Structure 1
Amino acid sequence: MRLLRITKTLVLGAILAMSLGLNVATVAIGSVATLVSSAYEAVTGAVSVVGQRNRDLAAKDKQLAAKSKQLKVNSQQLNTTTKQLDAKTKQVASLSDEVAGLKKPKVVSYRGQPRLLSTAVEDTAERISRRTVSGATRNASSVVAEAIPFWGIAVIVGVTAWDLTDACATMYDLHQLELAFNPDAAADPEVTEVCGMTVPTKEEVWLAVKSSPGAAWAAAKDAVPDIPDFSDITTIDWTFWN
Structure 2
Amino acid sequence: MVFSAGIYSAASSILETVSGRTSVARLQSDRITKLNRKLEDQRLINTRYKRHLEKNRKKIGELRTVIRHERHFKSTAISQLGDTQDKLEKLETNASRISTKVIKRSRRTATREIAVMPSEAIPMLGTAAIVGSTALEIHDLCQTMKDMAELRRATNDAQKASTEDLTVCSITLPSSAELWATAYSAPKDAWDRMRIHIPDLDDFSMPESISWPDWEWPWN
TM-score by length of 1: 0.53
Structure 1 runs not aligned, ≥5 long: 1-89, 109-114
Instruction: Tell me which stretches of 4 or more aligned residues in structure 1 moved more than 6 Å.
Output: none
Residue 229 of structure 1: aligned partner: 203
Shift of the alpha carbon at 1:153?
Answer: 0.7
Residue 87 of structure 2: aligned partner: 107
Preserved CA contact (<8 Å) 1:153 1:202? yes
Shift of the alpha carbon at 1:240?
Answer: 5.3
Q: Would the alpha carbon gap of residues 148 and 217 (structure 1) be closer, same or farther in structure 2, given more than 3 Å must change?
A: same
The 5 A counterparts of 1:1-242 are 101=81, 105-107=85-87, 116-239=90-213
Shift of the alpha carbon at 1:235?
Answer: 4.6
Aligned residues: 142
Find the aligned partners of 1:228 and 1:240 in 2 and give their Cα distance. Answer: 29
Preserved CA contact (<8 Å) 2:184 2:210? no
Q: Would the alpha carbon gap of residues 159 and 232 (structure 1) be closer, same or farther in structure 2, given more than 3 Å must change?
A: closer
Preserved CA contact (<8 Å) 2:98 2:151? yes
CA RMSD of aligned residues (A): 2.7
Find the aligned partners of 2:93 and 2:125 in 1 and give their Cα distance. Answer: 44
Shift of the alpha carbon at 1:230?
Answer: 2.2
Shift of the alpha carbon at 1:226?
Answer: 1.1
Find the aligned partners of 2:148 and 2:206 in 1 and give their Cα distance. Answer: 43
Mean Cα deviation higher: 230-239 or 195-204: 230-239
What are the Cα deviations for residues 37-79 of structure 1, in whole angstroms up to 9, with x where unaligned?
xxxxxxxxxxxxxxxxxxxxxxxxxxxxxxxxxxxxxxxxxxx
Preserved CA contact (<8 Å) 1:171 1:191? yes
What are the Cα deviations for residues 11-30 of structure 1, in whole angstroms up to 9, with x where unaligned?
xxxxxxxxxxxxxxxxxxxx
Find the aligned partners of 2:199 and 2:90 in 1 and give their Cα distance. Answer: 43
Shift of the alpha carbon at 1:165?
Answer: 0.4
Preserved CA contact (<8 Å) 1:150 1:241? no
3-state secondary structure, aligned to 2:126: helix
The alignment-based identity, stated in percent, is 32
Preserved CA contact (<8 Å) 1:105 1:117? no
Q: Would the alpha carbon gap of residues 124 and 221 (structure 1) be closer, same or farther in structure 2, given more than 3 Å must change?
A: same
Residue 152 of structure 1 aligns with an amino acid whose one-letter code is G
3-state secondary structure, aligned to 1:233: coil
Structure 2 runs not aligned, ≥5 long: 1-69
Shift of the alpha carbon at 1:135?
Answer: 0.4
Find the aligned partners of 1:204 and 1:235 in 2 and give their Cα distance. Answer: 17
